[in-house]
Amino acid sequence: MKTALIDDEHLARKELRHLLAAHPEIEIVGEAANVTEALRLIPSLRPKLVFLDIEMPVRNGFDLLAALPAPHPHIIFVTAYDEFAVRAFQVNALDYLLKPVEPERLAEALARIGRKDERPDHEPSSETSPTHDPEAPFQEDDRVFVREGERCWFVPLKEIALIEAQGNHTRIHFRGERPLLRRSLAAMEKRLPGTLFVRANRGQLVNRSFIEKMEPWFSGGLKASLRDGTEVEFSRRQAQEFRDRLEL
């Protein structure tokens, strides 16, 4: 996969080259340190994938995309700032990596290219189609956009450990964060994959991959202990459904 690196910091490009060396399918065909260089490099080399910094001198990564003739390559933003996430997804970026880039996150981003390219040409992409159903169910490997006030995150569903009802809103737990979203728990449950999230009681959904142990609890229920030490009580009904689905 022909790939270009666009970043004004030489050390950042060098580090990304080092990380990409673990992915033999990636062929780095060029680098640029600013938008002017990138506008010459990309049309000439026609890379399929571009790792793009946002904050660069004179013109930024979004200016590059605005000036770049179609069709655009896959774009993975690589930046030290998380406040550009909303705008990145508005321009249909494939992913958004924060510096320093973690090898696991890089692998996830590259895997998204394969899944996107596997779609038939006539099949609308949920990442680019303007007619995408905003209530369509998610898949286990999806990443979701989360916003609370001025803060925002792009979170793999697999990293969300717990979702709790708070009135008509929900609070989600991931990586030590607990943003409050203006959606009901029932609405969230309809979109979440049942292979990953299970209902524990009237007010909580649990990512079953975070459950480390379970023990019998009052009135036929179960008590689950999550990786971070959080304890969640399964009601009698939900405990029975959990057993029916997963018991050997």
CA distances from residue 163 to 54, 172, 212, 231 in whole angstroms, order as listed: 32, 4, 17, 13
Per-residue model confidence as pLDDT tens digits over 85-139: 778 877 888 888 989 999 999 998 898 887 666 544 434 444 443 344 556 788 8
pLDDT at residue 162 is higher than 70:
yes
Closest-CA residue to 232 (of 206, 193, 197): 206
Of 85, 78, 32, whose CA–CA distance to 54 is shortest? 78
The span from the first CA to the last CA of the chain, in angstroms, equals: 43
Q: Where in the chain is the domain with CATH 3.40.50.2300?
A: 2-117
How far is it, in rounded angstroms, from Cα 85 to Cα 80? 11
- Average per-residue pLDDT in the chain? 88
pLDDT digits 0-9 by tens, 212-238: 999 999 989 999 999 999 999 999 999
Mean pLDDT within 64-81 = 91
Give the lowest-confidence range in 31-35, 38-42, 130-134: 130-134
Peptide bond into 137 cis (omega under 30): no
Higher pLDDT, 2 or 135: 2
Q: What residue ranges of the chain are covered by domains with CATH 2.40.50.1020?
A: 144-246
Confidence of residue 244 (pLDDT cuts 50, 70, 90): confident
pLDDT band at residue 204 using 50, 70 and 90 as cut-offs: very high
pLDDT value of position 117: 61
Q: Report yes or no: 177 and 208 within 8 Å, Cβ to Cβ.
A: no
State residue 141's pLDDT score: 84
Query: Of 57-66, 131-140, 161-170, where does mean pLDDT reach its minimum?
Result: 131-140
Domain 144-246, what fold? OB fold (Dihydrolipoamide Acetyltransferase, E2P) (2.40.50)
CATH homologous superfamily, domain 2-117: Response regulator (3.40.50.2300)
Q: Rounded to an integer, what distance in angstroms lies between the CA atom of residue 113 and that of residue 141?
A: 13
DSSP letter for each residue of 199-220: EEETTEEEEGGGEEEEEE-GGG
The rounded distance, in Å, linking the Cα atoms of 88 and 187 is 26
